[in-house]
Structure 1
């Protein structure tokens, strides 16, 4: 999570007046939410209702036929992703199991999974429906999902990699929350 950074420009003079300019690089919305989660968890460790939120993402989508990650990717013409998808999905699944006693980590996962789900539906699905080239779809996934999620979480946990974020995307795919073909 990037912190607000202030820069003083003491050399900025306009006419005979001196102006000390302060330029602030603001944290993104996802980063701000994660900062709030961290602050709240320090005050109150009894945030048990997060388990219910996370459960929504780690269980199968209730209104879609469960066909699994392999079939989702094949149906979407993305069997080329399958080997890494299975590996990254498993990596994230193991991490969720390992961290089930950390409410803070679970809250962060809910935020990141929500970001992935909404970003996929808003930016990736329309391009899939329009039959965009896979290179364009992959670029959108990186730009709108992987990079912002990784940037938001890296200061909270420097062990989180972009592969883990991609694993979250494939985890949601396997649970039928994300649709990769243009028919749905």
Structure 2
């Protein structure tokens, strides 16, 4: 049952009785980041099995190997131990499998392109100068974590909080570094 409202001989079944101007503010539309939107889109695409057949140009560029010496030889040349190289190969493969599994989803492709580009740029800006100064690769592990892995993981924790598909973890982010190294997008020696 609705309550009748009256004001100076104005009766209404429901609603507002206004003496002059009624100002209604529309709810603000919240802008979301590009990467958050991509994760939302990916969730929908994945749920609907909305696959595509073509890999975007930007992702293809990261999948092409620029030379053939491979990850092991590159890290060996940089002075890495066998244990280090074995671990790098394992985490690289973990990421490569995830990339392969989700490459048929357009939003996943865009997410991977953004992350690979960011990792590549962070490596060149933060790690390569340390290598050029003569810092040993093994000594760089904390720098790699602090300058690349942790910031990317924090970005994902914040912007991909609704991610229910990719679940990228720090180990896979580290795998992206070695994936890029193996395809010669990242160089460990000048």
Q: Same fold (TM over 0.5)?
A: yes
User: Is 1:53 aligned to residue 58 of structure 2?
Assistant: yes
Q: Give SS of 1:91's match.
A: helix
Counterpart mapping for 1:1-184 below 5 A: 32-38=33-39, 51-61=56-66, 65-79=67-81, 80-134=83-137, 136-154=139-157, 155=161, 156-157=163-164, 159-181=167-189, 184=190
Count of residue pairs the alignment pairs up: 149
Q: Could you tell me how far 1:99 is from its partner in structure 2?
A: 0.6
Gapped runs of 5+ residues in structure 1? 1-30
Q: Which moved more, 1:119-128 or 1:137-146?
A: 137-146
Cα shift readout 1:57-104 (whole Å, capped 9, x = no counterpart): 11113xxx4310001101111234211111111111111111122111
Q: Give SS of 1:177's match.
A: coil
Residues 41, 47 of structure 1: 8 Å contact kept: no
Q: Give SS of 2:56's match.
A: helix
Higher strand proportion (structure 1 or 2): 1
Q: Which moved more, 1:152-161 or 1:92-101?
A: 152-161
Q: Could you tell me how far 1:51 is from its partner in structure 2?
A: 1.2
Q: Could you tell me how far 1:134 is from its partner in structure 2?
A: 3.8
CA distance in 2, matches of 1:57, 1:117: 10
Cα shift readout 1:13-61 (whole Å, capped 9, x = no counterpart): xxxxxxxxxxxxxxxxxx9341243467799989998711111111113
In structure 2, the CA distance between the partners of 1:89 and 1:78, relative to structure 1 (3 Å rule), is same
Residues 147, 162 of structure 1: 8 Å contact kept: yes
Gapped runs of 5+ residues in structure 2? 1-31
Residues 67, 176 of structure 1: 8 Å contact kept: no
CA distance in 2, matches of 1:38, 1:124: 28
> RMSD between aligned alpha carbons?
2.8
